[in-house]
Amino acid sequence: MIHAVHTMYVELMVCVTWTHHQTVFAHGFEARDQEAWDFHDWTGGCTRKTPLNCSTDGFEQLRTMKLPDITKSIVDRSIGLEECHGKCIENCIN
């Protein structure tokens, strides 16, 4: 398991998982351009439905998802989920 710490975990823009060729967005996200997504053009990515709120937003465990390119993120395999959560909250900027 990879624990990635970015400005905020959600900002990694984990958008979708695929189930029988259907797009299922992570909770709180939607297609930036739904018409383009309908034509299988995902280059616009996804966006939050509401702005980031460091006080009330939380974490959701996501399985069977393709992670985005995280080459510019910090990956620390030595920490667990609780510590990862703590670091994200410390670094959260609304």
| Count of domains for the chain | 1
Which H/E stretch holds residue 29? strand 29-31
pLDDT at 49: 92
pLDDT at 33: 92
Residue 19's domain spans which residues?
Answer: 4-91
pLDDT at 9: 40
- Exposed, middle or buried by CB within 10 Å (0-12, 13-18, 19+), for 77? exposed
* Phi, psi torsion values for 77, nearest 5 degrees: -80, -5
pLDDT tens per residue across all 94 residues of the chain? 333 433 334 443 455 555 555 667 778 888 899 999 888 888 888 888 999 888 888 777 777 766 667 677 777 788 888 888 888 888 887 6
pLDDT at 89: 83
